[in-house]
Structure 1
Amino acid sequence: MTRLPPADIARAVLVALIWGMGFVVAKGATEHFPPILLQAFRFAVTAAVMAVFLRSPGRGNLPWLLAVSLIGATIQYSLTFSGVHRLSAGIAALVIQLEVPFLVLLGALLLGERPKPRHWVGIALAFAGVAFIAGNIRFDGAWAALAMMMGGAFSWALGQVMIRKLRGISGRVITAWVAVLATPQLFLASLLFEDGQAAAIAGAGPDVWAAVAYLGLIMTALGYYLWNSLLVRHEVGRVAPFLLLLPVFSVLGGVLFLGEVLSPPQLIGGALVLSGVGLMLIEGKEPQRVAA
């Protein structure tokens, strides 16, 4: 089996840390900013710093970049962080782990990758864990938030599969293009689906803008640069399981910085999700390919 080089393993773990803590930062910021508006500012910051890396996308890549920005950024972040606004950072990070099963499923359907039996067992465990979490919450908007998170996880996975269609373009250039294309889309989505933007902007303090800076510079610019660099070199099923570490960092951050506490049913459901994703981390040999 060809394993990831140690440097790429370190990058994958760092992505999990950056994104895991991003849920904690975003959860605090959505108490002030409407969630879609927060993401619009986040991508505006990313676009501003990454614009210098804009290059010609190459022949045939621009339509895929437009699709990735719409599905894997605008729709995904609108759904995901609208859900984060209604859930704890720890629970949100556990549910978003459905990105990995969705990646494996879409890799099989769209890229011709062939999941092993343990992958199917892992997928079943992950979805069972989310179902367990959903069955032990009161209907106070949390079910709708869970549905948003699941929709965001699917949109994200579909966007990452689309990135595999890009050719001759670096992770840094992909990140720059997606940020530039997604920024106006997110501001438009906020205008259509949210209100109170003017008051939120006028009342934002330094801590809120610091959160925007983290989300734009660290979580998006640095995080997606590292992630896209991994995706263009390795199969999605090879690098995606490292996101198993993301909720670990989010839960710890939620406990330390937000005072969150997970209930026993949530811990059980989270353990099922992580167990399922963990099964997909075990690899015996290179995945076989079939014709797409």
Structure 2
Amino acid sequence: MLKTASLTALAMIAFAANSIFTRMGLAQTNIDPVMFTTIRLVSGAAALFLLVGVQQRTIRKIKTAGSWLGATSLGAYAIFFSFAYLTLGAGLGALILFASVQITMIIWAIVKGERPGPIEIVGIVIAFSAFTYLVSPGLVAPDPIGTLLMVISGISWGVYSLLGRGSKNATQDTMGNFVRTVPLALGAMIIFALTTNSWSIDLQGIIFACLSGIFASGMGYAVWYLVLPSLARTSAGVVQLTVPAIATLGGVLFLSEQLTTRFVIASTLILLGVALATIFKKKI
């Protein structure tokens, strides 16, 4: 039990670290978002490949592990995530991402025929209303372009999560998807460099990108998939509510980000709403 709790905490810290490393890389160094994303995905793919094991059997299975659709949604999540963090704070970005992922999956479940119960409906309404309040125009509203980009990133991650539900070997499929993103990311990097006539490389930015790819992404996902079978479905959903809170704490400690009243109120209500919708999810 203690081992499961420790590994779960480690995975949540890794997920939150993605937001912190990305924000630090893009706000404190000169690396551009496309270069950051490419390094993150390539280093993550390498870490996962080594983790699974460079074996002849594994090498052959890369062709069947994961999918191009999964890789595309993973790549879309990563690139929009990076561009969003040009203007959003670490905690705010994590909250918008998390809310978008959960809302995407809730909407998909309803579309597929799930009918939420009364308390679940209350939770959904609270989460939607608080999210609308968070992003509505005002003096302390988040940057609209950054918010839109993070919402798209969250939707992409929601799609990726839905695609992965049927995986029989989540770690291997994650490796396959990361490996498939490499040519996509390299292609995007070349196109971006040619069209913008810029190629912004920064050693400190590269370090942050590698930390995000190897530890926060590659190792973080591996630990999460290791511990996931030991968690109930409801517990797995609720425990992820800690990610925006951890990212917010990291933003305050490492990026000197300020908490606004709007953020505190909205984040509390969003997490409460999602918790209600998850805990009281109707069984069908």
Matches within 5 A, 1:61-76: 65-71=67-73, 73-76=74-77
* Alignment equivalent of 2:244, drawn from 235, 243, 247: 247
Tell me, yes or no, if the aligned pair for 1:130 and 1:269 is still in contact at 8 Å: yes
Asked if 1:135 corresponds to 2:126, the answer is: no
Distance 2:272 2:124 in 1: 10
Change in Cα spacing, 1:197 to 1:236, as seen in structure 2 (3 Å) is farther
Distance 1:158 1:175 in 2: 14
Residue aligning to 1:38: 36
Q: Which one-letter code corresponds to 1:158 in the other structure?
A: V
Distance 1:262 1:136 in 2: 18
Change in Cα spacing, 1:127 to 1:208, as seen in structure 2 (3 Å) is same
Residue aligning to 2:20: 24
Q: How far is 1:183 from its partner?
A: 1.8
Change in Cα spacing, 1:190 to 1:209, as seen in structure 2 (3 Å) is closer
Equivalent residues, number: 273
Distance 1:235 1:108 in 2: 21
| Deviation readout 1:73-98 (Å, 9 max, x if unpaired) | 11111122211221111111111121
Tell me, yes or no, if the aligned pair for 2:119 and 2:280 is still in contact at 8 Å: no
Residue aligning to 2:45: 47
Distance 2:233 2:12 in 1: 15
- Could you tell me the TM-score, scaled by structure 1's length? 0.81
What SS does the corresponding residue of 2:256 show, helix, strand or coil? coil
Asked if 1:288 corresponds to 2:283, the answer is: yes
Change in Cα spacing, 1:14 to 1:103, as seen in structure 2 (3 Å) is farther
Q: How far is 1:245 from its partner?
A: 0.3
Q: Which one-letter code corresponds to 2:102 in the other structure?
A: V
Q: How far is 1:252 from its partner?
A: 0.7
Distance 2:181 2:220 in 1: 16
Q: How far is 1:253 from its partner?
A: 0.6
The farther-off stretch of 261-270 and 224-233 is 224-233
Q: Which one-letter code corresponds to 1:101 in the other structure?
A: I
Matches within 5 A, 1:178-189: 178-189=177-188
Q: Which one-letter code corresponds to 2:95 in the other structure?
A: L
Residue aligning to 2:253: 256
Give the number of the structure whose residues are more often helix, by fraction. Answer: 2
Change in Cα spacing, 1:114 to 1:231, as seen in structure 2 (3 Å) is farther
Change in Cα spacing, 1:38 to 1:251, as seen in structure 2 (3 Å) is same
Q: Which one-letter code corresponds to 2:188 in the other structure?
A: A
Q: How far is 1:254 from its partner?
A: 0.6
Matches within 5 A, 1:136-175: 136-137=137-138, 142-167=143-168, 169=169, 171-175=170-174
Residue aligning to 2:265: 268
What SS does the corresponding residue of 1:155 show, helix, strand or coil? helix
Distance 1:7 1:118 in 2: 33
Change in Cα spacing, 1:7 to 1:172, as seen in structure 2 (3 Å) is same
Distance 2:223 2:61 in 1: 19
| Deviation readout 1:16-55 (Å, 9 max, x if unpaired) | 2111122111101013222232111011112223224373
- Could you tell me the TM-score, scaled by structure 2's length? 0.83
Change in Cα spacing, 1:163 to 1:230, as seen in structure 2 (3 Å) is farther
Q: How far is 1:12 from its partner?
A: 3.5
Residue aligning to 2:175: 176
Tell me, yes or no, if the aligned pair for 1:90 and 1:254 is still in contact at 8 Å: yes
Q: Taking every aligned residue pair, what percent have the same amino acid on both sides?
A: 19
Distance 2:160 2:186 in 1: 20
What SS does the corresponding residue of 2:166 show, helix, strand or coil? coil
Change in Cα spacing, 1:8 to 1:163, as seen in structure 2 (3 Å) is farther
Distance 1:156 1:235 in 2: 21
Tell me, yes or no, if the aligned pair for 1:90 and 1:262 is still in contact at 8 Å: no
The farther-off stretch of 123-132 and 215-224 is 123-132
| Deviation readout 1:123-169 (Å, 9 max, x if unpaired) | 222222221122244599811211111111111111111011223x2
Change in Cα spacing, 1:117 to 1:9, as seen in structure 2 (3 Å) is farther
Distance 2:164 2:180 in 1: 15
Tell me, yes or no, if the aligned pair for 1:103 and 1:237 is still in contact at 8 Å: no
Q: Which one-letter code corresponds to 2:163 in the other structure?
A: M
* Alignment equivalent of 2:224, drawn from 224, 227, 242: 227
Q: Which one-letter code corresponds to 1:244 in the other structure?
A: L
